């Protein structure tokens, strides 16, 4: 009897976890247990067969039918205060930039094509495991990046030292966040990558280089022009769409503030302390849902979005609920601003935005002692964020239902 009892216990343990290791995933509820760490910034290693906190295998992710539209319930509370139009006009619409076809030539030809901006080589050595498109110049093999780079049109370094300056110097920008995005895109390469606030293409360039259909949106006309040229230089214009618009919750023209010392910090909001003489330009502001008519005939599914609109994420979601439902992404990289930025500057409620996402079935990893945002701890999550002051970071939220 003792022998049978031992065999029964051993068999039961093996059925619970045949690997012999203790699992930190509760498969009954499909959530990560409290003992595991939230995965805000550390992407899973591509060599491991799991993504999404161990819930789904790479193969199951690829075979699931994400293209089935999911109708999200509209937010039960208002995310943002209604702002009167600054420059109301019935003629505002989204603007798709036509591809700028460019034959790949020598460096002097590419430098001329990038003007009035500058030509640079976007170092791909950091992303070699994703096998993006790479170019090789035999005369440049002595450089650290060797043949692993992609062509890029960027700002002169003094005008944009944070992003363009790093690319010019062969250094990465937002390495952890880009790696996270590429990891998810590699898992489901058939889906559309939506990059809202694309800047000069830090995310979009390697994504398109991996063969992913990429939909980039940026409010700054110079960024849209640069990225369109970059895609053409790399021969990727056939898998890239460039939209030159600001994204919000209304259809109007609006004032856009261009930070002359940090182009990536340009935004729709009023002048902030620390800005370097912001230039004011007029841009067309459109809801993300206005793109649905264009996207629907061309793309049926998506897997990963990146949303980085300098504190206007709540307004973006308010005007993008239908497109979010139609493309039904599994993961969204969402930038969060600290210091009550959403309330003070954009007249939006971070709490209401988080509750709307939670109620729509999204799992939101957080910081501090809040591992995942819920209805019960949302006030604590907002307090943690606001305590960080003028701060911004991205969290990758996951659709669980």
Which pLDDT score is estimated for 16? 37
Task: Report the DSSP pairing between strands 240-244 and 214-218.
Answer: parallel
Same domain assignment for residues 341 and 233: no
Residue ranges of the chain whose pLDDT lies below 50: 2-71, 88-90, 141-144
Same domain assignment for residues 239 and 335: no
Residue 381 lies in a domain: yes
Same domain assignment for residues 278 and 343: no
Residue 379 lies in a domain: yes
* Of the residues 297, 329, 361, the one at which a domain ends: 329
Which pLDDT score is estimated for 365? 94
* Of the residues 329, 355, 374, the one at which a domain ends: 329
Which pLDDT score is estimated for 100? 67
Same domain assignment for residues 285 and 334: no
Sheet holding 246-248, edge to edge: 246-248, 279-287, 252-258
Total domains in the chain come to 2
Same domain assignment for residues 232 and 342: no
Residue 3 lies in a domain: no
Domain coverage including residue 341: 330-401
pLDDT one-digit tens code per residue, 130-188: 888 777 655 554 444 557 889 999 999 988 988 999 999 999 888 999 999 999 999 88
Collapsing DSSP to helix, strand or coil, 109 comes out as helix
Same domain assignment for residues 207 and 263: yes
Same domain assignment for residues 106 and 191: yes
Its pTM stands at 0.77
Collapsing DSSP to helix, strand or coil, 118 comes out as strand
Residue 47 lies in a domain: no
**DSSP code string of 346-357:** S-B-HHHHHHHH
Residue 242 lies in a domain: yes
Residue 342 lies in a domain: yes
Give every CB contact of residue 296 below 8 A, 6+ residues apart in sequence: 326
Same domain assignment for residues 322 and 253: yes
Alpha-carbon radius of gyration of the chain: 22
Residue 36 lies in a domain: no
* Among candidate residues 336, 333, 334, 345, the one with its CA nearest the CA of residue 267: 345
Same domain assignment for residues 338 and 349: yes
Overall size of the chain counted in residues: 401
Same domain assignment for residues 171 and 232: yes
Residue 272 phi, psi dihedral angles, 5° rounding? -115, 155
Same domain assignment for residues 244 and 386: no
Q: Rounded to whole angstroms, how far apart are CA atoms 258 and 255?
A: 10
* Of the residues 301, 329, 357, the one at which a domain ends: 329
Task: Report the DSSP pairing between strands 252-258 and 279-287.
Answer: antiparallel
Report angle CA 234, 236, 242 to the nearest 5 degrees.
115
Report angle CA 287, 288, 290 to the nearest 5 degrees.
70
Residue 55 lies in a domain: no
Which pLDDT score is estimated for 178? 94
Residue 289 phi, psi dihedral angles, 5° rounding? -65, -20
Average confidence score pLDDT of the chain: 75
Same domain assignment for residues 218 and 353: no
Characterize 120-159 residue by residue with b for buried, 16 or more Cβ atoms within 10 angstroms of its Cβ, and e for exposed.
Answer: bbbbbebbeebebbbbeeeeeeeeebeebbbbbbbbebeb
């Amino acid at each position: 009897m003792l022998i049978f009892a031992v065999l029964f216990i051993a068999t039961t343990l093996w059925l619970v976890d045949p690997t012999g290791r203790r699992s930190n995933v509760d498969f009954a509820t499909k959530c990560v247990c409290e003992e595991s760490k939230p995965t805000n910034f550390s992407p899973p290693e591509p060599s491991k067969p799991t993504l999404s906190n161990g819930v789904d295998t790479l193969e199951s992710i690829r075979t699931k039918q994400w293209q089935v539209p999911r109708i999200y319930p509209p937010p039960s509370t208002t995310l943002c205060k209604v702002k009167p139009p600054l420059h109301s006009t019935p003629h505002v619409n989204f603007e798709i930039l036509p591809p700028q076809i460019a034959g790949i030539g020598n460096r002097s030809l590419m430098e001329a094509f990038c003007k009035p901006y500058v030509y640079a080589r976007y170092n791909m050595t950091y992303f070699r495991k994703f096998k993006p498109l790479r170019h090789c110049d035999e005369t440049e093999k002595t450089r650290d990046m060797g043949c692993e780079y992609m062509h890029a049109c960027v700002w002169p370094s003094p005008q944009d030292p944070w992003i363009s300056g790093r690319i010019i110097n062969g250094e990465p920008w937002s390495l952890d966040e880009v790696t996270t995005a590429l990891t998810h895109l590699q898992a489901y390469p058939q889906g559309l990558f939506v990059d809202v606030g694309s800047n000069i293409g830090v995310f979009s360039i390697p994504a398109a280089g991996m063969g992913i259909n990429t939909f980039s949106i940026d409010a700054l006309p110079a960024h849209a022009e640069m990225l369109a040229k970059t895609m053409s230089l790399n021969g990727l214009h056939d898998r890239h769409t460039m939209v030159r618009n600001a994204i919000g919750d209304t259809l109007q023209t609006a004032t856009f503030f261009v930070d002359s010392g940090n182009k990536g910090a340009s935004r729709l909001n009023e002048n902030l302390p620390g800005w370097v003489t912001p230039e004011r330009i007029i841009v067309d502001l459109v809801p993300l849902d206005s793109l649905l008519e264009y996207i629907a005939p061309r793309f049926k599914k998506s897997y990963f979005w990146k949303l980085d609109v300098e504190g206007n994420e709540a307004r973006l979601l308010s005007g993008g609920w239908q497109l979010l439902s139609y493309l039904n992404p599994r993961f969204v990289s969402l930038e969060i601003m600290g210091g009550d930025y959403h309330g003070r500057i954009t007249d939006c409620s971070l709490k209401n935005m988080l509750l709307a996402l939670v109620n729509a079935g999204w799992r939101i990893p957080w910081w501090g002692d809040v591992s995942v945002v819920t209805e019960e701890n949302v006030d604590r999550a907002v307090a943690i964020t606001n305590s960080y002051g003028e701060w911004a970071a991205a969290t990758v939220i996951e659709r669980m239902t």
